[in-house]
């Protein structure tokens, strides 16, 4: 793929927190979810992405225009660990490109940048989850990702966590 001189992928900075929240809201709309369900705030991004112990990293895709750079997408990721591989990996929590920029190479550039991070860190795997109806599945497969048909995702949310945690013995 030829490099697009009008596209830049860079690590996010604290000043990008508002754009990151807006991208997450855009992702909620794309996934047909009420935007009100997005609890993420700018303060959350500052605390968890740029605080003393960052929980995630973000890459920002910018279209370089005469008027200045315009954020057009992002990838938010964090480390996971494979006991079978005995190595860390990277989990992509969110990858989002604004509608006007889809199919323009922005998603590919973001994925390539995350892959470079993974390679530079010696990651054994690069994982993500995608909704079954999302047309991006073909995009991910074309990049070399394989659908894990035998693994089913499970999730426990706040209320269930609180119920189960109430059953735990006190830690020493």
Question: Which residues does the annotation mark as catalytic?
Answer: 140
Name, in order, each residue with C-beta under 8 angstroms of 94's C-beta and a sequence gap of 6 or more: 23, 24, 27, 74, 75, 76
């Amino acid at each position: 793929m030829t490099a697009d001189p009008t596209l830049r992928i860079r690590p996010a900075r604290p000043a990008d927190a508002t754009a990151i929240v807006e991208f997450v809201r855009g992702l909620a709309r794309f996934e047909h979810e009420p935007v009100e369900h997005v609890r993420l705030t700018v303060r959350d991004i500052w605390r968890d992405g740029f605080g003393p112990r960052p929980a995630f990293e973000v890459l920002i895709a910018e279209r370089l225009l005469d008027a200045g750079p315009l954020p057009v997408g992002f990838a938010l990721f964090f480390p996971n660990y494979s006991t079978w591989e005995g190595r860390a990996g990277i989990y992509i929590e969110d990858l989002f490109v604004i509608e006007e920029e889809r199919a323009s190479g922005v998603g590919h550039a973001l994925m390539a940048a995350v892959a470079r991070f993974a390679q530079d860190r010696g990651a054994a795997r690069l994982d993500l989850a995608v909704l079954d109806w999302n047309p991006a599945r073909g995009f991910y497969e074309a990049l070399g990702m394989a659908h894990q048909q035998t693994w089913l995702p499970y999730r426990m949310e706040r209320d269930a966590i609180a119920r189960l945690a109430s059953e735990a013995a006190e830690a020493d």
